[in-house]
Amino acid sequence: MRLFATIAILMPLLGYGQSWEIIRHPNNNRMAIKVDSQFICDYIYTEVSVLSEQKAYVAQGELYAYIDHTGKRLTPFAFTQVSNFTDGYAVVGDSFSQSIITDKMHILIPFEHPRVLLPVHGLIVVQSTAGTWGVYDTLGKIRLPLIYDIPPQIVNLNHIIVRREEEYGVVNDCNEVVFNCSYQYIDSNGLGYSSGKYLKLF
């Protein structure tokens, strides 16, 4: 009897005293999962991620879905782009655009942005198809219009560093101007550079 090969991925399940083990079939490269030395699924997946926040992503062919630590499927096989969960959120996408999914499996924003970043301070930085950037909140509401040259840097809700027409400024989470876009650079410590001088802005 031939032994099955084991991928060396063992992760403790916090609060469960168990381990997450990914097993690869030696003949067809399909994957199964063991939890606490017990198979929770057959060799049905082409890819299985590590466990993160009691969830993992799995693939069948080119499409991905999420499962929980018991192997229960939480979403359909509907995504071509996925990430592990971090602080209750993950990035998902189709072939052209991305969104954010919550740990309750809710999609937060429409699939119309080529790039989406995980939330910081409850704000989601997104890119438009034209290449400009803006910000949504985790309720799906636009907080900063998609008019900025580069991804806004969220220091906190009162200080978001933005760049427009190659000049830097600072706005708050309501897109109210804190410092006009008139600086050559502003760093996350609140130090601005303009006309050969450094100024402490915040």
Residues 76-106: tens digit of each pLDDT: 999 999 999 999 999 999 999 999 999 999 9
- The pLDDT of residue 6 is 34
Share of the chain above pLDDT 90, in %: 91
Tell me: the pLDDT tens digits for 22-47? Answer: 999 999 989 999 999 999 999 999 99
Task: Report yes or no: 112 and 97 within 8 Å, Cβ to Cβ.
Answer: yes
Residue among 161, 107, 151 at smallest CA distance from 126:
151
- Give the whole-angstrom CA distance, residue 79 versus residue 106: 14
Angstrom distance (rounded) from CA 100 to CA 55: 15
Which residues in 61-158 belong to E strands, given as ranges?
A: 63-68, 89-93, 98-102, 115-116, 123-127, 133-137, 142-148, 153-156
Tens-digit pLDDT profile for residues 146-185? 999 999 999 999 999 999 999 999 999 999 999 999 999 9
Q: How far is CA 145 from the centre of its chain?
A: 20
Instruction: Look at residue 10 and tell me whether its pLDDT is greater than 50.
Output: no
Amino acid in position 119: P
Residue among 189, 188, 178, 114 at smallest CA distance from 154: 188
Contacts of 45 (CB under 8 A, 6+ apart): 30, 31, 32, 33, 58, 59, 60
Give the pLDDT confidence score for residue 193 in this predicted structure: 98
Q: Report the alpha-carbon distance of residue 8 to residue 25 in Å, rounded.
A: 13
**pLDDT higher than 70, residue 117:** yes
Note the pLDDT of residue 17. Answer: 52
- Nearest CA among 166, 167, 130 for reference residue 145: 130
Q: What is the pLDDT of residue 8?
A: 38
Q: Which is more confident, 16 or 5? A: 16
Q: The pTM is what?
A: 0.87
Tell me the average pLDDT of the chain: 92
Domains of the chain and any CATH numbers: 1-72 (no CATH), 110-202 (2.40.10)
Residue 137: its pLDDT value, please? 98
**Beta carbons of 178 and 172 less than 8 angstroms apart:** yes
Other CB atoms within a 10 A radius of the CB of residue 44 amount to 13
